[in-house]
Amino acid sequence: MTTLAAVRRILAVILLVGMTGTSLELLLLKHDEDVWQLVPLVLLGAGVVVVLWRMLTGSRSSALVLRVLMILFLASGATGIYLHYDANVEFQRETDPSLSGRALLWSVLQAKVPPALAPGVMVQLALVGLAYTYRHKEQ
């Protein structure tokens, strides 16, 4: 096995572990109360299936589907950060209506529920997935 093939295999395993762990965490946190909360769970489940497909077949179509899915991961992460941030702004303003500007931003970013930057893990997973398929020779 070449060094590049080994690195690709490591990236695939990191991706699978990250998607599985994130899925379990979201399920344990009951992150399934509305449609928006189901989006990352559906994407993560699809991601596991597609990465396994890619690892087993190495087909051109599996690479294309994985790349498209990783773009959806990026969009999901960005949307999630916005939704978490927005929910925190609303909560912080209810708690302390005098908050604004930098103080509001700092309070929002430090909030524990929902963690404002937690959806960034979808972005991180997307970048690992895109690195895994970068210039990957299709069969």
CA distance 38 to 27: 10
Residue-level pLDDT at 139: 45
Residue-level pLDDT at 137: 66
CA distance 70 to 76: 10
Regions in the chain scoring below 70 on pLDDT: 136-139
CA distance 76 to 23: 14
Q: Any alpha helices (H) in 34-117, and if so which ranges?
A: 35-57, 60-95, 101-110
- pTM for the complete prediction? 0.90
Residue-level pLDDT at 138: 54
In sequence order, what E strands does 1-55 have?
none
Residue-level pLDDT at 116: 84
CA distance 97 to 104: 10
